[in-house]
Structure 1
């Protein structure tokens, strides 16, 4: 009987020690709302403008083709009564050729602009990730998650504003 009491006391002390260690080893966890960071970063707001600037030569080339098309259409409407059948056919072919060229160039431009925009967004997102990791390391977080992987989290664990401050130099 005496042995049983000692074993029970030892088990109780051991379980108490285990729970105490678990409480001491509590992890520091935070989260970042990546979408909100991207929306509020000045660099993200300028991405579209940067892409437009990079492709302005090709954009103006397409606008020039559209201008030629419009001028040809206006000429066809204006001079249709005095033009021969052959001249009308030639003008129609030229319009079709310009339209086909415009469509090909527009499609290529759209794809290139989208690809470049994605590259710039990926670079920006990599910067956000680096800054979030640096912040987590500086503040000794054990785990930092993206908010879209959470079901619920207390606002006290939100690092979004801190990441924004870090990326904008505290502004």
Structure 2
């Protein structure tokens, strides 16, 4: 199962809980990139630029999809690559979504997020306007994380994908 969605939506938190409930392993491609490169994503953006980061991201997603049978969380921009969207076709992908107000609460929009450095609220809206159709296009299900606990989100994912045990 693959989780996609914007930064701060809870992909890692929900993914870990979901994996535990399914008796599966959890993996996060952003963590893979940090582990492989030896530096935080924000530093990769600053030192090498976004195109370099996106190349690392495409490779991390490709490798994780090939190697990891459990629950996988993708970075917020991973779906920008057509190559990645093609790999996700026919896989159990869940788009976790939230609105701007919730994003402000969760991310603060002042955290070290390279794509939100200037006018974070406007940038977040712009990113979501561009990405929402891509997230929805690869997803079998869309689940809101707004005003819900991670456990409630996991319950809905299991229910909508008909994996919930009675």
Q: How would you bin the TM-score normalised by the shorter chain? A: under 0.3
More strand by share: 2
| TM-score, with structure 2 as normaliser | 0.26
**Greater RCO (CA < 8 Å, at least 6 residues apart):** 1
Q: TM-score, normalised by structure 1?
A: 0.25
Higher helix share: 1
